[in-house]
Amino acid sequence: MTITTCIFDAYGTLFDVGAAARLAAGEPGQGHWAATWPALAADWRLKQLQYSWLRAITGDHCSFWQVTQDGLDWALERHGLADDAELRERLLALYWELQAYPEVPQMLATLKAAGKATAILSNGSPDMLGGAVESAGLGEMLDAVLSVEAVGIFKPAARVYDMVGQRFGCAPGQVLFVSSNGWDVAGAAAYGFRTVWVNRADEPVDRLPGRPELIRADLTDIPNLAGA
């Protein structure tokens, strides 16, 4: 079945979630934590994801902005920075302006030139996603930015993946779903999407029922895989 629609996760896939901590650590006056930014960024991301999964299981939904703040607060406390209100404010501000990975603009432009529909499907809140898309200059390359807030549950719930067919009128087999999150790819594959796992860290495949159809180290080859 021909791929008509290319759907991308946002955080960690199109946008570098480590960029906020990396940029903040390089700013003047941040020497007291600059050496620990990779560990802090990793803890922040892990807790952000864990809180979204737990809230999906318990039905206690909130915005992704809330779990982003909660995850950061946990990470700051773990690294002895809980009292640094200025750092917290700066990290959260930078999260609205995350950098896109270098290959993203050309990759999306190639897909659009080939007539493929392109969209984000993300746990992110609409305002967060809007800020990131605008900051990265990707708006004209996307046909839609779909947020889980429309259905009130985080990925990998099937109701989230339902949004793609509802928006584009396509069958699951016509969708190429791309994510850097192994658990997200597993959910999408089990749903019936064609999948690409962007495995930037060269990690093992998750032991879950859904398996990635293809694995790549970055997004450069996505147009070829989509038949563009």
Is the Cβ–Cβ distance between 118 and 150 less than 8 Å? no
Give the tokens for residue 162.
Answer: 């339902």
Is the Cβ–Cβ distance between 68 and 48 less than 8 Å? yes
Q: Which amino acid is at 93?
A: A
CB atoms within 10 A of CB 164: 24
Q: Of the residues 9, 16, 43, 184, which is catalytic?
A: 9
Edge-to-edge strand list for the sheet holding 144-147 = 144-147, 117-122, 5-8, 175-179, 194-198, 214-216
Radius of gyration of the chain, Cα coordinates, nearest whole angstrom: 17
Is the Cβ–Cβ distance between 104 and 20 less than 8 Å? no
Angle at 23 between CA 19 and CA 29, to 5 degrees: 155
83 is catalytic: no
Please give the Cα distance from 21 to 41 (Å, whole number). 6
Is the Cβ–Cβ distance between 143 and 32 less than 8 Å? no
Task: Give me the active site residues, please.
Answer: 9
